[in-house]
Amino acid sequence: MARLNAAAHPREAIKENLYVPRPGATVADFLVRRLELEPSSSHLIVGGVGSGKTTQLLMGQKQLQTVPDVHACFIDVSERHDLAKLRSSVLLVLAGLTLGEMFPEPVSQAIKLARENFRKWAHGYVEWFDVRDAGDEEPPDHDDDDRFMRPVHVQGVLVPPEPALRADIQAKARQLAVLREGLEKSIKHVVVLFDSLDRLTDLKSFAEVVDQDIRAIKSAGLGVVVVGPLRTLFGPGRTIADRFDYLYHQSSVDVEQDTAGEEFLGRILRKRVEADLLPDEALHRVVQFSGGVLRDLISLARSAGEEAYTAGIDRVGVTHVESAADAFGRSLMLGLGPDEITVLQRVRTQRSFVQTSDKDIALLVTRRVLEYTNGIPRYAVHPTIAPLLEQLATKP
Amino acid sequence: MTLLPNLLSLPEFVFRVTARPSKGSVFVLVSPADLIDRVSGRLRSELEGEVGVQLVGGAHDAGALISAIQKAEGTRIVIACGIESFGDTDWQRIDLLRSRLSRDGAIIFVVSPASVEALTRYAPNLASWVGGSMWIVDIASELLTPEERESRLNALREGFQRSDTEILRLAAEGSLPKEPEYVEWLILLKRPDLIGNT
């Protein structure tokens, strides 16, 4: 049961050889194939909470390390920066700091300077200005008739479809290019993988970093992969997703209509728990209740084990799984308002789901509604809340 | 009808916490707001006999809570309480910084019904770590003396101008209002089986 830790970093599961690839090509496979062909392309991975995005990012990194001349750097942005204060430059500076650490000593003067610049941009610095210069206006020119003239800028009507990179971003991108070129002798291509940006609820700050940082990193000749918010799939968010060269949706695994999906989740659990402790029948129920959400699969199996242990039984039974699913569903139902319940009831009974509001999208992000994208896309409520919704429907 | 986490006595909760390999575990225990300090204190004293435990109470905002939890590195279990003043933005911030809560030990959040709703709504990434490890503490079974229990019941009877019989009847019919006080009322009457009907 110690291997059933829903809060463990996926890095640990991969290290312990607990990773099981999805049937067919995975997001990691696509990433590697495309980055091999286009080393400085940009990629966005989205998906619901606990769907395995970080795992795919890490597997992508692992596979890229086996490609000659490629180095992939994994950066968990939330570990190095307060995501509530995300703004343009942050990803660029994190990329610069990471690349700067990749040089063996001694380094050239240009590399030294680039590394120093990124440290300054990351941690701040003091600059001295001559106060007499501040606020001084340019003296007016006078023309041939001795009239005093001032320049007035009249804006052109054409607006470039892609706004120019800001001057400060361009400066950072140039320094990033210096670092990349410095590495070129030993590593031809560098790819940076940014994790944790999927937690952002403020699409404005995400749009800002995509608009400036991602383009700047690409312009410096690096490949870039970002785990971003699921909201970028819908409404105005879609224009942000479109800025990337490639988009991947890590959806839930279909355990209801796809036998391969069900077997895949079964294999994940079997790698972590022996049949003596979690017999096949109970395992099958855990898989069904998980709805194909990887973290929920682990969490439910662990809770079912605890239910059995608490009852003094050393083997998980179907009733223990059902108790665990009931507790899980109750947690998922917390905080929902009447309008959200109405939407969930419609998804449960009619399998229809149209994302018209932020609240609807939140139901997907928080996996109360699950989307399956194998074949024709379909929606379902999380299997642990389906019986609770049914109870609600039959009571006043 | 209100759907709430299941009821669990404090000793049962302690048993579950100590039984689980603690690395990275996050639990939530829901208590009436005015009993949070007492529940947290009891929890600490019951856990202290088993494992290293530290109470992190009264953080003024999300940042302060996270750094207090980080400072408790090396302590197997951290009990986070006294965070009832946290608003939506605090929970959102905790969610954004969830990676910083990743630790070798466990975290137990002791919160009110209102706060647990905010947690699930505004911190979905943290909630996914919690999963089903969320319970309402059974205050009637352990925490309150018979006199305290009677006193709280009296306060509820007077506050809502209703009798115990009426509450039990409404709960059985499934028409009890959804306020947390009614849930507490059923717990105090030792009828948690009717909570699912409220």
pLDDT digits (tens, 9 = 90+) for A98-149: 999 999 888 899 999 999 999 999 999 887 777 666 555 555 566 666 677 7
Say if residue A249's pLDDT is above 60: yes
Residue B197's pLDDT is what? 55
Q: β-strands A148-149, B6-8: how paired?
A: unpaired
Say if residue A187's pLDDT is above 70: yes
What integer is the mean pLDDT of A188-211?
94
Cα-Cα end-to-end distance for chain A = 40
A93 and A205 inside one domain: yes
**Residue B21: which H helix or E strand, with range?**
none
Stretch among A19-23, A353-357, B139-143, B183-187 having the lowest mean pLDDT: B139-143
Contacts of A48 in chain B (CB under 8 A): none
Contacts of A296 in chain B (CB under 8 A): 128, 131
Residue A137's pLDDT is what? 58
A201 close to B (CB below 8 A): yes
When pLDDT is cut at 50, 70 and 90, the band that residue A346 belongs to is very high
Say if residue B182's pLDDT is above 90: no
- The answer to whether the Cα torsion of A20, A25, A27, A32 is positive or negative is positive
- Contact between A85 and A63 under an 8 Å Cβ cutoff? The reply is no
What integer is the mean pLDDT of A330-348?
92
Coil, helix or strand at residue B143:
coil
Q: Which of A217, A250, A283 is the last residue of a domain?
A: A250
Q: Which of A202, A219, A250 is the last residue of a domain?
A: A250
Residues in CB range of B116: below 8 A, 6 or more apart: A334, B5, B28, B30, B134
Stretch among A216-230, B1-15, B44-58, B147-161 having the lowest mean pLDDT: B1-15
Give the distance from residue A23's alpha carbon to the nearest chain B alpha carbon, in angstroms: 25
Q: Within a domain: residue A5?
A: no
Cβ distance A303 to B133 less than 8 Å, yes or no, reads yes
Tell me how far apart the alpha carbons of residues A256 and A253 are, in angstroms, rounded to a whole number: 9
A313 and A205 inside one domain: no
- Among candidates A1, A295, A327 on the partner chain, residue whose Cβ is nearest the Cβ of B5: A327
A174 and A279 inside one domain: no
Q: Within a domain: residue A394?
A: yes
Say if residue B124's pLDDT is above 70: yes
Contacts of B92 in chain A (CB under 8 A): 84, 201
Residue B177's pLDDT is what? 82
Domains assigned to chain B:
7-140 (3.40.50.300), 146-197 (no CATH)
Chain B 116-175, residues with CB within 8 Å of chain A CB atoms: 116-121, 124-125, 127-135, 174-175
- Contact between A225 and A39 under an 8 Å Cβ cutoff? The reply is no
A101 and A180 inside one domain: yes
Structure tokens at B94: 């905790």
A220 and A283 inside one domain: no
Stretch among A125-134, A180-189, B73-82, B104-113 having the lowest mean pLDDT: A125-134
Residue A142's pLDDT is what? 63
A217 and A103 inside one domain: yes
Residue A358's pLDDT is what? 85
**Residue B1: which H helix or E strand, with range?**
none
Q: Within a domain: residue A294?
A: yes
Say if residue A303's pLDDT is above 90: yes
A71 and A28 inside one domain: yes
A296 and A182 inside one domain: no
Mean pLDDT of chain A: 90
Residue A128's pLDDT is what? 77
A182 and A72 inside one domain: yes
A205 and A261 inside one domain: no
Stretch among A378-382, B66-70, B72-76 having the lowest mean pLDDT: B72-76
B2 close to A (CB below 8 A): no
Coil, helix or strand at residue B109:
strand
Among chain B residues, the shortest Cα distance to A333 is held by: B3
- Among candidates A8, A200, A362 on the partner chain, residue whose Cβ is nearest the Cβ of B24: A8
A311 and A356 inside one domain: yes
- Contact between A7 and A298 under an 8 Å Cβ cutoff? The reply is no
Say if residue A164's pLDDT is above 90: no
Instruction: Return the CATH number at A195.
Output: 3.40.50.300
Among chain B residues, the shortest Cα distance to A50 is held by: B128
Give the distance from residue B178's alpha carbon to the nearest chain A alpha carbon, in angstroms: 12
- Answer with the residue of higher pLDDT: A191 or A158: A191
Range of A198's domain? 23-124+170-250
Q: Within a domain: residue A16?
A: no
A330 and A346 inside one domain: yes
* Domains held by chain A: number: 2
What integer is the mean pLDDT of B89-114?
92
Gyration radius of chain B's alpha carbons: 17
B178 close to A (CB below 8 A): no
pLDDT in tens, A2-13: 788 877 888 888
- Contact between B56 and B80 under an 8 Å Cβ cutoff? The reply is yes
pTM recorded for the entire structure: 0.87
Gyration radius of chain A's alpha carbons: 26
Cβ distance A1 to B133 less than 8 Å, yes or no, reads no
Q: Within a domain: residue A134?
A: no
Q: Which of A200, A220, A250 is the last residue of a domain?
A: A250
Cβ distance A5 to B97 less than 8 Å, yes or no, reads no
Structure tokens at B117: 């709703």
Q: Within a domain: residue A40?
A: yes
Residue A140's pLDDT is what? 59
What integer is the mean pLDDT of B9-32?
88
Instruction: Return the CATH number at A276.
Output: 1.10.8.60
Q: Which residues of A211-230 are buried (b: 16+ CB within 10 A; e: fewer)?
A: bbbbbbbbbbbbbbbbbbbb
Structure tokens at A184: 């070129």
Among chain B residues, the shortest Cα distance to A6 is held by: B129
Q: Within a domain: residue A9?
A: no
Q: Within a domain: residue A140?
A: no
Give the distance from residue A48's alpha carbon to the nearest chain B alpha carbon, in angstroms: 10
Tell me how far apart the alpha carbons of residues A210 and A91 are, in angstroms, rounded to a whole number: 9
List the single best residue of A57, A199, A200, A314 to mutate versus B (max B Cβ within 10 A): A199
- Cα–Cα separations (whole angstroms), residue A305 to A2, A272, A296: 11, 12, 14
Give the distance from residue A322's alpha carbon to the nearest chain B alpha carbon, in angstroms: 12
Chain A 259-318, residues with CB within 8 Å of chain B CB atoms: 295-296, 299-300, 302-303, 306, 309-310
Which of A309, A343, A265, A365 shows the shortest CA–CA distance to B127? A365
